Structure 1
Amino acid sequence: MKKWISFFIFCCFMILSGCSNQNLVPKSEASNVVDTYGITSFSVTIDTNEMQEALNASFTEKKERSEAEYTNQKEEITLHGKKALKKIMEAFEKMEPDPEAEETELIKNAAEAFGFKEYKMIRLEVKFKGYDSKEIMFSK
């Protein structure tokens, strides 16, 4: 019986440790985001009238590990790591993020860049290198 319990705990540990690395982004690609857009941390959540958290996207660049996640329930897409970062960078290209932009402009540009012209609520957190973090929430 002890062997089965030990085996079960070992299997759970292996599964959990494997899942925790799925959002990792190679250091060079994370640095590319910072160099290109000046963004060290980004998170956006969009709710529509039809569904809460229709979109969740996040990117974090840190010294020890960088991560990215992307979930679009409207399109039934869930991406992690490099694939998520690629999707987020496509949105950044459309968004043209600017640390000096007004909050309403950042919200509007983020919603459109991620393909949500109609939304009920949007929550945006962005940290540009050398600037204070911006946390914005807007409801219609």
Structure 2
Amino acid sequence: MSAREVQITFDAHDPGAQAEFWAVALRYVLQPPPDGFDTWDAALDAWGVPPEARNDRSAIVDPDGAGPRVFFQKVPEGKVAKNKLHLDVRAAAGVPPEGRMAVLEEACEQLLALGASRFQRFEPGEELGSGFIVMQDPEGNEFCLD
């Protein structure tokens, strides 16, 4: 029996903005419109989706087709507690230990410029890890750069 495909879903106030942020963070792309449509607006027009509902959903995909689809859905309520699940963004995978934290800091700066917040830096050897940075996306969802 083969493994099941997984989609990661985020609840969001602004699905489009969250999709843009996470596309950069994960090196993904916005999901292209379905076959037969040149743009998402053309597809949404054909499906009768009113303009005020066009930011209710968004998705990003791995351009190489290897990673899971990430879906963002609009919800009315805000985030009220710490995530019970978070993503570890492997920004320094394969980087030798001596250059690891510099690579993570560079990725951190890029994401800060897109609206992320930095929470805490853990040095190599702390928390039994090889060094990582805890951050929050623009809507407050925790994630780690490692």
TM-score range, shorter chain: under 0.3
| TM-score between the two structures when normalised by the length of structure 2 | 0.24
Bigger strand share: 1
Bigger helix share: 1
